[in-house]
Amino acid sequence: MSALLKSFSSFLGSSIGKKLLVALTGAVLVLFVLGHMIGNLLIFVGPDAINEYGHFLQTMIHGAGVWIARVGLLVCAVLHVVLTIQLTRENRAARSQRYGYTATIQASKSSRIMILSGLTILAFIIYHLLHFTVHAGNNYGTYQVMLHGEKVHDVYKMVVAGFSWLPASIFYIIAMLLLCSHLSHGVSSMFQTLGLATERTRPIFEKIGSAYAAIILIGNCSIPIAVLLHFVK
């Protein structure tokens, strides 16, 4: 048992071990982002669809499901953030004296601002949770609607109300642009770190990463834009 712990701690202490965990937690978050977006897009189907979806999430496994998911996501997000901050600090320390003349041969802009895009997204997530989950500073918690004879939370109204305030939508769109940037490097990077990329598959993973990031950007941004343009009201 102690040997096992020793292996695990040296794995966690190692550069590659940390990165593998970042990739694995990243994978969970990447999939969550997609699921979250698909759910949200139900807003275009109509109030009932998204409210039913919201209700399903709340009541899944007698209400335990949402907490299992929340805890799981929280663990992944915390690990992802803590490890990347640690890795970034190590990276900065690895070159204490900077170059007088800096040049980049081919690294993408996205790949070079991962920590910035990531931390901004983190700030956005905290705001987003306070805004739509904790309902801090608003009364969205009181929005109710009748669905199939049952009183449920009016998610639809909450979204419309939330995005009707222009600054919230702008922050949301900026966050989504950064998320897009983060994903455009992160998704393909994940395959490389997990050791799944080969010379032939790497360009494919890179295209998948870019496409994935673009889909998330378009999908998520369509909602505030639709609200602001009164397509959804």
Partner 1 sequence: MASNLNLKLKIWRQPSTNAKGTFQDVEATDIPETASFLEMLDIVNQRIIDSGGDPVAFDHDCREGICGTCSMVINGIPHGPRRGTTACQLHMRLFKNGDTIWIEPFRAKAFPVIKDLAVDRSAFDRIMVAGGFISVRTGSAQDANSLPISKEDADSAMDAAECIGCGACVATCKNASAMLFVSAKAGQLNSLPQGQPEKHRRVLGMVKAMDESGFGNCTNQYECEAACPKGISVRWIAKLNRDYALATVHESLLAPANGKGGGAA
Q: If binding is defined by CB under 8 A, does position 207 make contact with partner 1?
A: no
How many residues sit close enough to partner 1 to count as binding (CB under 8 A)?
Answer: 49
* Cα distance between residue 170 and residue 143, in whole Å: 24
> Which two structure tokens, joined as six digits, stand for 128?
């987003």
Q: Read out DSSP for 97-151?
A: S--SS---SS--HHHHTHHHHHHHHHHHHHHHIIIIIS-TTS-GGG-EEEETTEE
Could you give the angle at the alpha carbon of 65 between the alpha carbons of 36 and 157, nearest 5°?
A: 50
Q: Least distance to partner 1 from the beta carbon of 180, Å?
A: 18
Selected binder of partner 1 within 30, 197, 213, 221 (CB under 8 A)? 197
Selected binder of partner 1 within 98, 148, 230, 233 (CB under 8 A)? 98
The residues, any chain, with a CB within 8 Å of residue 72's CB and separated by 6 or more, are 28
Q: Toward partner 1, which CB reaches closer, 210 or 220?
A: 210
Selected binder of partner 1 within 35, 46, 141, 195 (CB under 8 A)? 195
Binding mask 147-186 for partner 1 (x = CB under 8 A): --------------------------------------x-
Q: Toward partner 1, which CB reaches closer, 10 or 133?
A: 10
Question: Interface residues for partner 1 in 15-54 (CB under 8 A)?
Answer: 15-20
Burial class (CB in 10 A: 0-12, 13-18, 19+), 38: exposed
Look up residue 193 and give its amino acid: T
Look up residue 4 and give its amino acid: L
Residues in contact with partner 1 by CB under 8 A are 3-4, 7-8, 10-11, 13-20, 87, 90-91, 93-108, 111-112, 114, 185, 188-189, 191-199, 202
